[in-house]
């Protein structure tokens, strides 16, 4: 750097010494934008890495498999027959095991043949004691968290070896041990095919006619299933990033404007324009790097705080296993810094261009900048109209991306229109109000609007997002609790450990209860997706309470007679079924008699009459039962059951416990959303504070005459604060319809695409009032400092305005 460049830099940097708050705001803007963006990116990257790890290590993603046709099974003998014919296959047994509140995936592998599947799968063979691994009681491999979750579970003496190379929430055991843990008899879930098979083998169909080849992409891929969730997070992050940029831009723009004099002086002294611009750009880049680094560090903290919630959400909504930990990825750090630089560049571009075009002798002031911003109102209105026009197109495009694009269009248009609407309202108000002070207040508010519009837009976006997501979650919660009440009717739920025990429990319970309802189920492929089929007995418990969305007349009769099947909403929507359509099922197709809601379950599901079920699935484990008994007798009966059959506490649960557990899982599922909401609102608050602080320094020339006309500083300060509150209040009112529109889109478009269920919208006045108050509180907090400074300003400073008058 030349000596002159150093001088230029120190002249320009002196600005920040005089206005440290502006520097803080600029840095805070970039830092917050980077932090939220990169935090969410880190979360997404971690989740994707978990999916990839699961796919690699379990062989679930990459390799073709042979799976039994519906209603048939694969056994060890089939595995041997294929191996003896020369096929390189390795058996797997897959299932889930209840562990406390959650379920742990059990993966049974066969280490000897698994080595022939190729390196990625071979690596998944746990190293260690093979004898202990394959012989009862067996040895399981699981990560630390899963091992801890399984600590109290009865695994028949299985020892668990904690390891780091096991996918999250998964217990890897030998195939024979898995058959025992999951009570599978001699059945296998699938045979994984090695990618390179010897030439000239006899066709598989001749050896295991009951098997079908499942292409890896044909099965549920967690990455695809959860794409919507990650898109959702990314959208939130982008929103926060944009709000952060608003802060940055208002700070940068003001700094450029206020340094016009310095720039003019420098150029008058002979410094070339290119050098001034270069130093300004370098300064901005340096600040962006500093703030970006801080943002990446903060983002890391945000991600670390969010990750457990994200893991809970993914497992709650999609049944996907993601580790709650976080790994540092260099690419992530670099992309965070790049976003910071790009954001600062976008925010600073206008300032640089203006400085480049600035006539050498033009006066520097805050006002021209603010006035120029006001000229943009018409352009903003036009852009908003264009975005509104694009919205239906996005919706028509359909799909999740279309839904999100429509939401983005709507939100941006609403944000751009906000200053236009506020300006119009103030203009109309100005014509009506009486009294000098009020007229001045309205006119001055309108004049300030341009300087605050970015901050108000940020606040509006944050509020709308909060209302939208809050309404969505609230609607979901209301629907979900109602659904739980319908679905969990039985007083007790009993899980036996063996079929013998289950039969003994049935015999023992029969004389003392109103009804014993079997909850027997089997895994099956439903319209090509892995799902579950339940068998139910004909009982008023189902007829009167089951959460049916729509059904043909006599649907329950059809189910009971084995001439109809009920499907859950997910299957109904994804497979685009209609009532009466025929649904392929193991053991023969049946017409769809009705649809029921099934929240919180990512997979397709169907319900058959018990006779029909046992005929089609004679080997399905008959372990779980619901018990109808007068509710006052339920606790005593639960205790008696536990004692009589030496059942563990978890084997008998009453309705209230199950409900509480379900609701707890539900709340955990949306914890991340709540956290992001609060963060966005916080960022908007900072944006407002920045805008007010920067405006405050420019407003003295307007306030000094009012003060000179007799208004006390204290009164002025109160008016300033009131103005902030009025603007924030107006913004909050404006945000309500925008937020409700957002909620509607989330419920009707995004949820259906992402989860396969549509929820009725429940508007919560409570939520809206709370958020309105939050907006006012935010404005109060943001406006307090500038108002306080105004109240304490010395008369000399106000007088200097007149002395400095140019």
Binding of residue 111 to other proteins (CB under 8 A): yes
Candidate list 32, 63, 104, 125; residue touching other proteins; CB under 8 A: 125
Candidate list 46, 67, 174, 720; residue touching other proteins; CB under 8 A: 174
Based on DSSP, count helices (H) and strands (E) in the chain, helices before strands: 30, 21
CA nearest 252: which of 416, 17, 27, 8?
27
Binding of residue 130 to other proteins (CB under 8 A): yes
Binding of residue 198 to other proteins (CB under 8 A): yes
Cα four-point dihedral sign 644, 650, 651, 655: positive
Interaction residues for other proteins, span 460-489 (CB under 8 A): none
Binding of residue 206 to other proteins (CB under 8 A): no
Cα end-to-end span (Å), the chain: 36
Place of tokens 């919507």: 228
Binding of residue 79 to other proteins (CB under 8 A): yes
Candidate list 67, 110, 283, 444; residue touching other proteins; CB under 8 A: 110
In the bound complex, what is the minimum distance in angstroms from residue 130's beta carbon to other proteins?
Answer: 4
Kindly give, in sequence order, each residue whose CB lies less than 8 Å from that of residue 75, ignoring residues fewer than 6 positions away.
186, 187, 188
Q: How far apart are CA 794 and CA 788, in angstroms?
A: 12
E strand or H helix that includes residue 397: helix 377-397
78-86, 250-258, 501-509, 744-752 -> range binding other proteins (CB under 8 A): 78-86
Q: Are 762 and 710 spatial neighbours (Cβ–Cβ below 8 Å)?
A: no
Sheet holding 492-495, edge to edge: 515-518, 624-628, 492-495, 652-654
Nearer to other proteins, 14 or 127 (CB): 127
Nearer to other proteins, 201 or 334 (CB): 201
Nearer to other proteins, 79 or 699 (CB): 79
37-45, 128-136, 498-506, 585-593 -> range binding other proteins (CB under 8 A): 128-136
75-83, 95-103, 349-357, 625-633 -> range binding other proteins (CB under 8 A): 75-83
123-131, 418-426, 506-514, 620-628 -> range binding other proteins (CB under 8 A): 123-131
Binding of residue 113 to other proteins (CB under 8 A): yes
Binding of residue 196 to other proteins (CB under 8 A): yes
Binding of residue 176 to other proteins (CB under 8 A): yes
In the bound complex, what is the minimum distance in angstroms from residue 183's beta carbon to other proteins?
Answer: 15
Candidate list 17, 20, 131, 511; residue touching other proteins; CB under 8 A: 131
Burial track 107-132 (b if 16+ CB lie within 10 A, e otherwise) = bbbbbebbeebbeebeebbbeeeeee
In the bound complex, what is the minimum distance in angstroms from residue 131's beta carbon to other proteins?
Answer: 4
Q: How far apart are CA 500 and CA 507, in angstroms?
A: 11
Binding of residue 112 to other proteins (CB under 8 A): yes
E strand or H helix that includes residue 702: helix 671-708
User: In the structure encoding, which two tokens stand for residue 649, read together?
Assistant: 């506490």
Candidate list 77, 151, 389, 773; residue touching other proteins; CB under 8 A: 77
Binding of residue 234 to other proteins (CB under 8 A): no
Q: How far apart are CA 255 and CA 246, in angstroms?
A: 14
* Window 238-267: contact mask with other proteins (x via CB under 8 A): ------------------------------
Strands (E), 125-240: 139-142, 159-162, 170-174, 187-188, 190-193, 211-214
Binding of residue 165 to other proteins (CB under 8 A): no
Binding of residue 123 to other proteins (CB under 8 A): no
- State the SS3 of 500-566: HHHHHHHHHHHHHCCEEEECEEEEEEECCEEEEEEEECCCHHHHHHCCEEEECCCHHHHHHHCCCEE
Strand, helix or coil at 162?
Answer: strand
In the bound complex, what is the minimum distance in angstroms from residue 89's beta carbon to other proteins?
Answer: 10
Nearer to other proteins, 128 or 630 (CB): 128
Residues found near other proteins in the complex (CB under 8 A): 76-77, 79-80, 83-86, 110-113, 115-116, 125, 127-131, 133-136, 174-177, 179, 196, 198
């Amino acid at each position: 750097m030349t000596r002159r460049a150093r001088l230029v830099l120190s002249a320009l940097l002196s600005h920040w010494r005089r206005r440290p708050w502006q520097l803080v705001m600029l840095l805070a803007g970039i830092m917050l934008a980077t932090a939220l963006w990169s935090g969410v990116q880190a979360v997404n990257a971690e989740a994707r890495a978990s999916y990839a790890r699961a796919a690699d290590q379990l062989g679930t993603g990459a390799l073709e498999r042979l799976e039994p046709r519906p209603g048939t099974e694969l056994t060890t003998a089939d595995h041997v027959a294929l191996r003896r014919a020369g096929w390189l296959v390795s058996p797997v047994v897959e299932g889930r095991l209840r562990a406390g509140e959650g379920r742990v995936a059990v993966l049974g592998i066969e280490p000897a043949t698994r080595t022939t599947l190729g390196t990625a799968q071979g690596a998944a063979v746990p190293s260690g004691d093979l004898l202990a691994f394959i012989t009862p009681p067996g040895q399981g491999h699981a990560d630390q968290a899963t091992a801890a979750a399984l600590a109290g579970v009865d695994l028949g003496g299985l020892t668990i070896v904690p390891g780091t190379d096991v996918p999250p929430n998964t217990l890897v055991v030998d195939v024979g041990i898995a058959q025992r843990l999951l009570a599978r008899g001699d059945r296998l879930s699938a045979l994984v095919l090695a990618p390179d098979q010897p030439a000239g083998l006899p066709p598989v169909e001749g050896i295991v006619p009951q098997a079908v080849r499942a292409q890896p992409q044909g099965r549920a891929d967690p990455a695809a299933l959860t794409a919507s969730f990650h898109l959702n997070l990314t959208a939130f992050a982008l929103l926060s990033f944009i709000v952060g940029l608003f802060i940055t831009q208002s700070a940068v723009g003001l700094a450029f404007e206020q340094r016009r004099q310095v720039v003019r002086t420098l150029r008058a002294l002979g410094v070339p324009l290119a050098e001034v611009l270069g130093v300004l750009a370098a300064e901005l880049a340096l600040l962006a790097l500093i703030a970006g680094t801080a943002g990446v560090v903060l983002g890391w903290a945000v991600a670390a705080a969010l990750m457990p919630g994200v893991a809970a959400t993914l497992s709650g909504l999609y049944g996907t296993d993601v580790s709650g930990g976080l790994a540092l990825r260099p690419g992530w750090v670099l992309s965070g810094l790049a976003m910071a630089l790009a954001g600062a560049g976008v925010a600073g571009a206008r300032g640089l261009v203006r400085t480049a075009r600035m006539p050498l002798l033009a006066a520097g002031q805050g006002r021209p900048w603010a006035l120029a911003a006001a000229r943009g109102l018409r352009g903003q209105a036009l852009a908003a109209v264009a975005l509104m026009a694009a919205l239906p197109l996005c919706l028509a495009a359909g799909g999740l991306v279309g839904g999100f694009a429509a939401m983005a269009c709507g939100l941006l248009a609403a944000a751009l229109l906000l200053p236009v609407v506020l300006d119009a309202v103030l203009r109309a108000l100005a014509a009506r109000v009486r009294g000098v002070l009020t007229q001045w207040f309205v006119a001055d508010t309108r004049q300030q609007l341009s300087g605050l519009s970015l901050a108000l837009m940020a606040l509006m976006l944050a509020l709308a997002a909060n209302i939208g997501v809050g309404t969505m979650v609230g609607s979901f919660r209301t629907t979900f609790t109602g659904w739980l009440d319908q679905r969990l009717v039985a007083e007790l739920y009993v899980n036996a450990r063996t079929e013998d025990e289950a039969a003994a429990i049935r015999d023992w319970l029969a004389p003392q209860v109103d009804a014993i309802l079997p909850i027997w189920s089997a895994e099956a492929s439903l319209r090509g997706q892995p799902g579950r089929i339940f068998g139910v007995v004909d009982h008023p418990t189902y007829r009167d309470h089951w959460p049916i969305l729509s059904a043909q007349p006599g649907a329950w009769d059809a189910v009971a007679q084995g001439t109809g099947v009920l499907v859950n909403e997910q299957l109904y929507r994804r497979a685009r079924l209609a009532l009466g359509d025929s649904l392929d099922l193991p053991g023969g197709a049946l017409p769809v008699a009705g649809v029921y809601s099934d929240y919180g379950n990512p997979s397709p599901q169907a319900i058959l009459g018990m006779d029909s079920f046992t005929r089609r699935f004679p080997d399905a484990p008959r372990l779980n039962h619901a018990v109808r008994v007068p509710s006052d007798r339920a606790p005593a009966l639960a205790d008696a059951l536990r004692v009589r059959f030496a059942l563990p506490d978890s084997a008998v649960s009453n309705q209230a416990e199950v409900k509480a557990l379900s609701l707890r899982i539900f709340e955990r599922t949306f914890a991340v959303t709540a956290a992001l909401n609060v963060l966005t609102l916080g960022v908007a608050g900072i944006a407002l504070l920045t805008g007010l602080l920067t405006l405050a320094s420019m407003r003295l020339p307007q306030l000094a005459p009012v003060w000179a006309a007799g208004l006390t500083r204290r009164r002025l300060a109160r008016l300033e604060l009131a103005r902030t509150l009025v603007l924030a209040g107006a913004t909050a009112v404006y945000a309500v319809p925008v937020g409700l529109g957002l909620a509607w889109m989330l419920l009707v478009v995004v949820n259906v695409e992402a989860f396969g269920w549509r929820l009725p919208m429940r508007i919560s006045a409570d939520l809206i009032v709370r958020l309105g108050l939050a907006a006012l509180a935010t404005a109060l907090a943001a406006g307090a400092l500038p108002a306080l400074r105004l109240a304490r300003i010395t008369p000399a400073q106000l007088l200097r305005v007149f002395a400095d008058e140019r």
